Amino acid sequence: MPKLQANAVSLTALPPLSLYIHFPWCEKKCPYCDFNSHQIKEGTSNKSGFDEQRYIKALIADLETELPNIWGRQVHSIFIGGGTPSLLSPESMDELLSAIRARINLDADAEITMEANPGSIEANKFAAFAKCGINRVSIGIQSFQDEQLKALGRIHNGEEAKRAIQIALDNFKSVNLDLMYGLPNQSLEAAKADVETALSFKTPHLSFYNLTLEPNTYFASFPPKLPSDDEIDAIFEQNLDLLAKAGYKRYEVSAYAKKAQECKHNLNYWRFGDYIGIGAGAHGKISFPDKVTRQVRERHPDTYMSAMEGKGNALIESKEIEAKDLPFEFMLNTLRLTDGVDTNTFSERTGLPLSVISKGLAEASKKGLLDENPSKLKATALGLRYLNNLQEVFLD
C-alpha cells in the first residue's frame, strides 16, 4: 500500500448515520457469550436486579454528549442490543425513545430494533414496546431442541421459544430469529429440524451463526465436544439449500432475508456507515470531512453510570482512525456482503483514492477471492468461504 499522509482523508459527503444503544444486563450469562453482558444480581432491593432509572438517565446524558458531533445529520435506524434489552420495562423504553426523538433528527420511518430472549417475552409487555415505537425485534432462539438449549446454557426451552416467536409476530411488522449451528454433538438431522422449525414461522429475516469458542468465555476454558469441520460444512450447506428453497437470500455472511427485508441498521455497519454508540461498552464511528473517528465507552455498567454522573462523559477511547488503517476497516465490513458494494463507495466512505488498495485488489482477484467486475468490490463464493483470508489481503 502506498505511504499515506496523516491528513490524507477527504470526504465529499458524510455517510448515513445510525444509533446503537447497549443494554448490559441479562438473566444469565451464556457460556459461549463474549459480548459485554452482566448477569443481574439476585436479592437486590431493585425488583429487576439493576437500576433501571439510573441507567436510562445515563443513556440520555451520554447521547447529549454526542450531539455536537452530529448536528444537522439525520439518524436512519436505532438498534437496542445487549445483554437482554427486553428486560427493560415498557415505561423506561418509552422514556428513552421519547428522549431520543426530542434530541436527534430521527427518520419518520426509522427502523427501531430491540433484541430479546424468549424467557423475557410477555404478550402485554411486547404490545407496550410496539406502542412506544419498537418496530423490529430480534429474538435469540439459538435452537428449538431442549437438549441443545441446555448445552448452550440457555434459560428457555423449545416450546417457550415457539411461543415467544408467535407473540413477536403478533406485535411487530418485522421479526428476526437468531439461530446457531455447529452445536455440541449436533447431528445433520438435528440441525435440519431447527431450520425447518424456524422456517415454519415465515419470519422475514433469519440469522445463522456458527458456534465458535471465543476467548474469555466459559466454553473457551471448558470446551464442549463440537462437530468436526466437515460436519459443520455439511450443516452449513444444508442450511443454505433449505433457506434458498424457502425464498431467503443470503445477503451477508450470517444473514438471510426475504425480498426487501434486510436489516437496515446492520446494512449500515457493513457498508461502513456511521453510528453513535451509547451505553456501557458501546462503540461508535463518526465521520467528519477530514477524518473518521472511533469511540469506546466504559465497559462495566456501574463504572459507566458513575462516569456519566461524575464527569459527564464515559469515554475511555476516542481516536481518529489513521489513513493507513481505513482500507482494512472498510474491507473488513463491506466484504461480508454477498453483493458487495459499488467500487466508488470506497472513496466516499474512507476519503481515500481507490489506488491505495489496487495492489490488494489485484492479489485477491488473482487468488479467486474477489470478483473481477471493476464496478464492484465483491467477494466470490470462494472469498466468502475463506473470508478471513480475503480480508487479510488488505491489512497494512
HEC assignment per residue over 98-157:
HHHHHHCEEEEEEEEEEEECHHHCCHHHHHHHHHCCCCEEEEEEECCCHHHHHHCCCCCC
Q: Which residue has the cell 455497519?
A: 269
Question: For 111-117, what is the mean pLDDT?
Answer: 97
pLDDT digit string (tens) for 177-203? 999 999 999 999 999 999 999 999 999
Q: Which of 312, 323, 295, 326 is nearest to 394 (CA)?
A: 326
- Rounded alpha-carbon distances, angstroms, from residue 115 to 125, 126, 176, 269, 333: 14, 12, 9, 17, 21
Q: Is 3 a member of any domain? A: no
Question: For 323-338, what is the mean pLDDT?
Answer: 97
Question: For 143-169, what is the mean pLDDT?
Answer: 95
What is the C-alpha to C-alpha distance for residues 392 and 396, in angstroms, rounded to an integer? 9
* Predicted confidence (pLDDT) at residue 6 exceeds the cutoff of 60: no
> φ and ψ at 36, to 5 degrees?
-80, 80
Same domain, 166 and 51: yes
Domain boundary among 244, 268, 292: 268
Same domain, 54 and 146: yes
Same domain, 360 and 242: no
Same domain, 334 and 263: no
Same domain, 84 and 212: yes
83: preceding bond cis by omega (within 30 degrees): yes
Same domain, 359 and 227: no
* Predicted confidence (pLDDT) at residue 3 exceeds the cutoff of 60: no
* Predicted confidence (pLDDT) at residue 41 exceeds the cutoff of 90: no
145, three cell numbers = 431442541
- Structurally, the chain folds into a number of domains equal to 2
Domain boundary among 268, 287, 306: 268
Residue 50, strand partner residues: none
pLDDT digit string (tens) for 263-297? 999 999 999 999 999 999 999 999 999 999 999 99
Same domain, 263 and 334: no
Q: What is the CATH number of the domain that holds 378?
A: 1.10.10.920
Q: Is 180 a member of any domain? A: yes
Same domain, 113 and 184: yes
pLDDT digit string (tens) for 206-231? 999 999 999 989 999 999 999 999 99
| Of 33-42, 91-100, 247-256, the least confident | 33-42
The per-residue DSSP string of 254-319 comes to TEEESTT---HHHHHHHTT-EEEEEETT-EEEEEETTEEEEEEE-SSHHHHHHHHHHTS--EEEEE
Q: Is 11 a member of any domain? A: no
Same domain, 54 and 165: yes
Give the number of other CB atoms < 10 A from CB of residue 302. 14
Reported pTM: 0.95
Q: What is the CATH number of the domain that holds 65?
A: 3.20.20.70
- Confidence label for 44 from pLDDT (cuts 50, 70 and 90): very low
- Confidence label for 43 from pLDDT (cuts 50, 70 and 90): very low
Residue 237 makes CB contacts below 8 A (sequence gap 6+) with: none
What pLDDT, on a 0 to 100 scale, did the predictor assign at position 369? 97
What pLDDT, on a 0 to 100 scale, did the predictor assign at position 188? 96
What pLDDT, on a 0 to 100 scale, did the predictor assign at position 47? 53
Residue ranges making up the domain that contains 167? 17-268
* Predicted confidence (pLDDT) at residue 370 exceeds the cutoff of 80: yes
* Predicted confidence (pLDDT) at residue 119 exceeds the cutoff of 90: no
Residue 214 near residue 31 (C-beta atoms within 8 A): no
Question: For 66-80, what is the mean pLDDT?
Answer: 97
Q: Which of 275, 303, 366, 340 is nearest to 55 (CA)?
A: 303
* Predicted confidence (pLDDT) at residue 106 exceeds the cutoff of 90: yes
What pLDDT, on a 0 to 100 scale, did the predictor assign at position 1? 52
Q: Is 299 a member of any domain? A: no
Q: Is 292 a member of any domain? A: no
Domain boundary among 233, 250, 268: 268
Same domain, 236 and 364: no
Helices (H) and strands (E) in the chain, counts: 15, 16
What is the C-alpha to C-alpha distance for residues 307 and 297, in angstroms, rounded to an integer? 10
Residue 83 near residue 35 (C-beta atoms within 8 A): yes
What is the C-alpha to C-alpha distance for residues 186 and 197, in angstroms, rounded to an integer? 16
140, three cell numbers = 435469540
Q: What is the rounded radius of gyration, in angstroms, for the C-alpha atoms of the chain?
A: 21
Q: Is 311 a member of any domain? A: no
Angle at 310 between CA 309 and CA 315, to 5 degrees: 85
Residue 175 near residue 184 (C-beta atoms within 8 A): no
Q: Is 81 a member of any domain? A: yes
Question: For 303-311, what is the mean pLDDT?
Answer: 98
Q: Is 274 a member of any domain? A: no
